[in-house]
């Protein structure tokens, strides 16, 4: 199978940073906070680049939706081996309400425009934990999906995907074109080293807006409030079983 | 009682050499047996796996691994994206544009983004900034809080003694700005990029490269993909070499490459050893009713005793939210190994004059960094063939003012101005392939930086007297305020900070109060707030020259002071899994890159080297 692979990469707050809720409880503080590429997106990029190195596909296109800074994330993908990038510019209020449904519409539109044969995404983003974009994209395109992939192998015009599911591992065979979402054990992403970052500066990143793709990004969801998780309350130590039972009765639990 | 530790530099060198001979006894092997113990021999588990201690040349796991590096050429390479490095880069590009010359300036910075490793009070004098960008206000420099109130106090356990800050005293802040230095550095980075400087955050300079004639050729960035045990992983890749005609080293206080350069070029033979302090800082959102934007508060005294140098700062920022930046500085020449700078900071916050400001507020940031206290006496030789030192790395901090940003920036600018003519000169006759620019030192000596540092040179050393803090304050009042630092003598420091610790049995443990979770906090939740992380699977970057010295010496004689002076909980003495005894556990992932351990280790056994770039703290506007 030769062809083009689209990889979605999302710029998220770095996993080691302590999150702070804005004083007005509208959202989380992002200004000046350290961001990096979503770890599952790194795995997705690595998988696409590996396929290209094995000459199974021809071109890897990295896609990111967001404000100006999303270009840094695309550059990292380019430094890891993607050939070119597409930056779909979404800013301000639109960016705050951007979610899986809009992204999947954008990815579907791009897949048609770029005549992609494979879309690889991370299984979920570490900021919203939605785990929806891959599945919605496949549905919109009416393509098969191989989600939570821990192993992907191309066999002619079919793809064998080993999926990590609650019961263990499930192996499926799906037709191309398809959507794959990457799980943790799919691969170990390579580093974006400095010589590659320098080379990546010469690779092209195309700019466009969602409207250029005919996509309406109005949100169907309204965030009412964001709160920190409740502080963990101290527990109570009891001496005897009778104490325990009476405490449970007090709390109305028995 | 004059401290006996004020030996001459020569005597100190002898003592240091003797100490080194003692500790270099055991050769680094996989398991080191302690023959000196009378009881059964204890094996030290291998702690250090870094290739700077265990060379890869003789390591069988590295056979056949491609070690060739990609190299690129620039005119100037700058190590460190702080105020000094960025000012130098900006000044170079300004000169290049003025004279219509092409200049490739590359800057590498170990933080993932410019400003993420910057931590400072900070009360900044805008002098250097106004020279660099006279239109800094129009350009939107984040200097939003002019100082409106200046308060200085001596604290006792329950009370506060106000000290008037008369005009002429170094700690007067009229005309200065309270700044979130991380944001300021980020802004400087944006200005630099606009001028065409190539900024590469996320890449650490790990090695200095040399020409055959011994001059500096440039730097190499860190290798990636080495496992915790020192072996190469599948994703292993060599760092990249950046060659330059001249390399500027602006690594900040106690840079690790600067440490190598001091040895290589003997840069410290005619100056005193650098002395340091550790600064810990938090940012709080406070109750609006308590907020007094522009207010600067400094204190000395409690909880430190009069012989331990240090003090606090509390600045009210004026950037919309009711934010305060507060922190505590402890001189690293303290003698009691039971002292914990972190816990002194936490208990200081409970003082009756400080706690009310914080009540009802919440803490949003924490961090720590070492800072220089040596002043002019500790400035090394600044130039060598192929490179020069700028900023807090050689150390231009004005200690009584506790300001180093303006002098660091000026040093960067002077470096650029000294280098530029040499870079663009046609037919330049250089003795060495790497350019030597001694004109930089001349320019510094003729600038306001030198005048300023000279006038305050005796204030810090004046604390080494029986009356400690009070003697120092009297000295400052007489000789600085009245005589403007013109006295004809120059006092010496007490020597290396690492040699100041007294054995644990000669000192009393300090009883610190438990953190209450509202004003004071425990160490680990503080470290979490710094957002720091180093990828787990890499060799610990806190390398030990000898793995058995921590238990044998630091724990045995000094009760393991590294457990207390590290502001990030990197060093822990834990019981061995089998048998009796303790071992040192290094939690390298917690490291906030403050460099205190490299400075204060009484055995000078810890060598901090740079971990994979992009790690370390994620400070936001610190």
- The per-residue pLDDT for range B462-473, each reduced to its tens digit, is 888 777 888 888
Report the sign of the C-alpha dihedral through residues A52, A56, A58, A61, in that order: negative
Query: Strand B149-155 to strand B205-210: parallel, antiparallel, or no bridges (unpaired)?
Result: unpaired
> Measured between CA atoms, how close is A190 to chain B, in angstroms?
5
Helix, coil or strand: residue A171: strand
Task: Quote the pTM value.
Answer: 0.91
Contact B235 A189 (CB under 8 A): yes
pLDDT at A37 over 60: yes
Q: What are phi and psi of A206, to 5 degrees?
A: -85, 140
Contact B240 A195 (CB under 8 A): yes
Find the radius of gyration of the CA atoms of chain A: 21
Looking at the DSSP assignment, which residues form a beta bridge with residue B312?
Answer: B299, B328
CA gap A102, A209 in Å, rounded: 12
Q: Does A194 touch chain B (CB under 8 A)?
A: yes
Which site among B202, B530, B613 would you substitute to test the A interface, given the most A Cβ atoms closer than 10 Å to its Cβ?
A: B202
The confidence band for B36, taking pLDDT boundaries of 50, 70 and 90, is very low
Active site residue B566: yes
Contacting residues of B for A189, CB less than 8 Å apart:
235
Q: What are phi and psi of B246, to 5 degrees?
A: -145, 140
Specify burial of residue B100 (Cβ count, 10 A radius: 0-12, 13-18, 19+): exposed
pLDDT at B146 over 90: yes
Q: How far is CA B150 from the centre of its chain?
A: 26
**What value does the mean pLDDT take over residues A139-167?**
95
pLDDT at B450 over 70: yes
> Measured between CA atoms, how close is A17 to chain B, in angstroms?
4
Q: Are A59 and A114 in contact (CB under 8 A)?
A: no
| Torsion from C-alpha of B228, B231, B233, B235, nearest 10 degrees | 90
pLDDT at B1 over 50: no
The confidence band for A236, taking pLDDT boundaries of 50, 70 and 90, is confident
**CATH code assigned at A216:** 3.40.50.620
The confidence band for B41, taking pLDDT boundaries of 50, 70 and 90, is very low
Q: Residue B33: its pLDDT value, please?
A: 39
Stated as kind and residue range, the H or E segment containing A65 is strand A59-66
Q: Residue B23: its pLDDT value, please?
A: 41
Q: Does B621 touch chain A (CB under 8 A)?
A: yes
Specify burial of residue A174 (Cβ count, 10 A radius: 0-12, 13-18, 19+): middle
The contacts of residue A10 (CB under 8 Å, 6+ apart) are A37, A38, A41, A64, A66, A73, A122, A125
How many interchain CB pairs under 8 A, A with B? 60
pLDDT at A43 over 80: yes
Peptide bond into A177 cis (omega under 30): yes
Tokens of A80: 């890891």
Q: Where is pLDDT greater, at B12 or A69? A: A69
CA gap B423, B435 in Å, rounded: 9
Q: Are B384 and B422 in contact (CB under 8 A)?
A: no
CA gap B469, A4 in Å, rounded: 71
Contact B237 A193 (CB under 8 A): yes
Query: Strand B295-301 to strand B232-237: parallel, antiparallel, or no bridges (unpaired)?
Result: unpaired
pLDDT at B173 over 90: no
Stated as kind and residue range, the H or E segment containing B235 is strand B232-237
> Measured between CA atoms, how close is B578 to chain A, in angstroms?
32
pLDDT at B513 over 50: yes
CA gap B79, B74 in Å, rounded: 13
Q: Does A93 touch chain B (CB under 8 A)?
A: no
Q: Does A204 touch chain B (CB under 8 A)?
A: no
pLDDT at B68 over 80: yes
Altogether, the residues listed in chain A come to a count of 254
Contact A188 B321 (CB under 8 A): no
Domain B66-139+179-273+376-457, what fold? Answer: FAD/NAD(P)-binding domain (3.50.50)
Q: Using one digit for the tens of pLDDT, what is the confidence trace for A116-152? A: 999 999 999 999 999 999 999 999 999 999 999 999 9
Report the sign of the C-alpha dihedral through residues B529, B534, B537, B540, in that order: negative
Active site residue B369: yes
Contact A33 B620 (CB under 8 A): yes
pLDDT at B4 over 90: no
Q: Using one digit for the tens of pLDDT, what is the confidence trace for B514-553? A: 999 999 999 999 999 999 999 989 999 999 999 999 999 9
CA gap A206, A88 in Å, rounded: 8
Q: Residue B487: its pLDDT value, please?
A: 84
**What value does the mean pLDDT take over residues B359-380?**
95
* For chain B, percent of residues with pLDDT exceeding 90: 79
* Per-domain boundaries in chain B: 66-139+179-273+376-457
Q: Are B56 and B62 in contact (CB under 8 A)?
A: yes
Longest dimension (CA), chain A: 73
Determine the number of helices (DSSP H) and then strands (DSSP E) in chain B. Answer: 16, 28
User: What count of Cα atoms within 13 Å lies in the side-chain half-sphere of residue A38?
Assistant: 28
Q: Does B287 touch chain A (CB under 8 A)?
A: no
As for the ipTM of the complex, it is: 0.89
Active site residue B392: no
Lowest-confidence pick of A101-110, B264-273, B290-299, B573-582: B573-582
Q: Residue B20: its pLDDT value, please?
A: 46
Q: Using one digit for the tens of pLDDT, what is the confidence trace for A181-209? A: 999 999 999 999 999 999 999 999 999 99
Looking at the DSSP assignment, which residues form a beta bridge with residue B209?
Answer: B218
Find the radius of gyration of the CA atoms of chain B: 24
Q: Residue B359: its pLDDT value, please?
A: 95
Q: Residue B406: its pLDDT value, please?
A: 97
Domain hosting residue A183, numbered range: 4-251
The confidence band for B16, taking pLDDT boundaries of 50, 70 and 90, is low
> Measured between CA atoms, how close is A136 to chain B, in angstroms?
33
pLDDT at A1 over 70: no
Q: Output B192-196 pairs: Cβ under 8 A, ≥24 positions apart.
A: B192/B86, B192/B89, B192/B90, B192/B93, B192/B107, B195/B89, B195/B90, B195/B93, B195/B94, B195/B97, B196/B93, B196/B105
**What value does the mean pLDDT take over residues A213-228?**
94
pLDDT at B331 over 90: yes
The confidence band for A156, taking pLDDT boundaries of 50, 70 and 90, is confident
Q: Residue B465: its pLDDT value, please?
A: 77
Closest Cβ–Cβ partner in A15, A34, A197 for B112: A34
Q: Residue B32: its pLDDT value, please?
A: 38
How many domains does chain A contain in total?
A: 1
- Cα distance between the two ends of chain B: 40
Q: Residue B464: its pLDDT value, please?
A: 80
Q: How far is CA B603 from CA B24, B150, B486, B498, B557, in A?
A: 11, 41, 38, 7, 10
Q: Using one digit for the tens of pLDDT, what is the confidence trace for B285-308? A: 999 999 999 999 999 999 999 889
């Amino acid at each position: 199978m030769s062809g083009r692979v689209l990889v979605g990469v999302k710029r998220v707050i770095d996993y080691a940073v302590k999150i702070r809720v804005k004083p007005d409880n509208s959202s989380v503080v992002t200004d000046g906070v350290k961001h990096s590429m979503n770890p599952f997106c790194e795995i997705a990029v690595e998988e696409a680049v590996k396929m290209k190195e094995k000459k199974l596909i021809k071109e890897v296109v990295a896609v990111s939706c967001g404000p100006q800074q999303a270009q840094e994330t695309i550059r990292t993908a380019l430094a890891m081996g993607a050939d070119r990038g597409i930056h779909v510019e979404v800013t301000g209020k639109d960016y705050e309400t951007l979610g899986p449904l809009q992204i999947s519409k954008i990815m579907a539109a791009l897949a048609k425009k770029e005549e992609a044969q494979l879309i690889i995404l991370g299984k979920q983003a570490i900021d919203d934990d939605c785990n929806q974009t891959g599945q919605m994209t496949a549905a919109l395109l009416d393509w098969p999906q191989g989600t939570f992939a821990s192993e992907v192998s191309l066999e002619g015009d079919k793809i064998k995907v080993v999926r990590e599911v609650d019961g263990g591992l499930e192996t499926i065979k799906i037709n191309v074109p398809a959507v794959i979402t990457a799980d943790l054990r799919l691969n170990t992403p390579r580093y974006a080293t400095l010589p590659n970052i320098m080379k990546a500066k010469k690779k092209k990143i195309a700019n466009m807006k969602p409207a250029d793709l005919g996509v309406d990004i109005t949100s169907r969801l309204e965030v009412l409030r964001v709160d920190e998780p409740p502080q963990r309350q101290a527990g109570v130590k009891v001496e005897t079983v009778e104490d325990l039972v009476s405490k449970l009765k007090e709390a109305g639990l028995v | 009682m004059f401290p006996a530790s004020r030996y001459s530099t020569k005597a100190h060198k002898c003592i240091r050499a003797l100490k080194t001979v003692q500790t270099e006894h055991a050769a680094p092997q996989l398991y080191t047996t302690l023959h000196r113990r009378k009881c059964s021999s204890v094996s030290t588990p291998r702690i250090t796996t870094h290739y700077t201690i265990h060379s890869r040349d003789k390591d069988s796991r590295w056979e056949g691994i491609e070690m060739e590096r990609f190299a690129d050429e620039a005119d100037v390479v700058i190590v460190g994206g702080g105020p000094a490095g960025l000012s130098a880069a900006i000044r170079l590009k300004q000169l290049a544009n003025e004279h219509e010359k092409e200049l490739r300036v590359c800057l590498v910075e170990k933080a993932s983004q410019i400003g993420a490793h910057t931590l400072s009070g900070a009360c900044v004098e805008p002098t250097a900034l106004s020279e660099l960008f006279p239109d800094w206000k129009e350009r939107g420099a984040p200097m939003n809080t002019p100082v409106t109130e200046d308060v200085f106090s001596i604290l006792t356990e329950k009370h506060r003694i106000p000290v008037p800050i008369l005009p002429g005293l170094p700690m007067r802040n009229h005309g200065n700005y309270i700044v979130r230095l991380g944001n300021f550095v980020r802004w400087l980075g944006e200005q630099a990029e606009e001028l065409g400087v190539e900024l590469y955050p996320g890449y650490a300079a790990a090695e200095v490269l040399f020409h055959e004639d011994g001059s500096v050729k440039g730097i190499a960035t860190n290798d990636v993909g080495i496992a915790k045990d020192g072996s190469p992983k599948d994703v292993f890749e060599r760092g990249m070499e950046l060659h330059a005609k001249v390399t500027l080293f602006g690594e900040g206080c106690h840079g690790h490459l600067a440490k190598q350069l001091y040895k290589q070029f003997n840069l410290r033979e005619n100056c005193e050893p650098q002395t340091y302090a550790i600064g810990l800082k938090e940012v709080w959102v406070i109750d609006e009713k308590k907020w007094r934007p522009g207010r600067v508060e400094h204190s000395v005294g409690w909880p430190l005793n009069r012989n331990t140098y240090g003090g606090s700062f509390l600045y009210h920022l004026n950037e919309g939210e009711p934010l305060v930046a507060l922190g505590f500085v402890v001189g690293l020449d303290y003698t009691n190994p039971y002292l914990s700078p972190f816990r002194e900071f936490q208990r200081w916050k409970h003082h009756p004059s400080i706690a009310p400001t914080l009540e009802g507020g919440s803490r949003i940031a924490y961090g720590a960094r070492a800072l220089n206290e040596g002043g002019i006496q500790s400035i090394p030789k600044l130039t060598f063939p192929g490179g020069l030192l700028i900023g807090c790395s050689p150390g231009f901090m004005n200690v009584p003012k506790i300001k180093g940003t303006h002098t660091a920036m000026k040093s960067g600018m002077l470096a650029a101005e000294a280098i530029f003519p040499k870079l663009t000169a046609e037919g330049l006759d250089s003795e060495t392939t790497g350019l030597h620019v001694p004109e930089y030192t001349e320019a510094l000596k003729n600038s306001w930086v030198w005048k300023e540092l000279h006038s305050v040179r005796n204030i810090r050393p004046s604390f080494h007297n029986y009356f400690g803090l009070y003697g120092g304050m009297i000295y400052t009042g007489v000789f600085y305020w009245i005589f403007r630092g013109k006295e004809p003598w120059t006092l010496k420091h007490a020597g290396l900070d690492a040699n100041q610790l007294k054995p644990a049995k000669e000192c009393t443990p300090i009883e610190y109060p438990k953190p209450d979770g509202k004003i004071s906090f425990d160490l680990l939740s503080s470290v979490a707030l710094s957002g720091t992380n180093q990828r787990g699977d890499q060799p610990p970057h806190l390398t030990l020259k000898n793995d058995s010295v921590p238990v044998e010496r630091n724990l045995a004689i000094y009760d393991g002071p590294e457990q207390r002076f590290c502001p990030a909980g990197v060093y822990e003495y834990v019981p061995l899994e089998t048998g009796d005894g303790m071992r040192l556990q290094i939690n390298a992932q917690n490291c906030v890159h403050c460099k205190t351990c490299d400075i204060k280790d009484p055995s000078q056994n810890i060598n901090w080297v740079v971990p994979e770039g992009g790690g370390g703290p994620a400070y936001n506007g610190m």
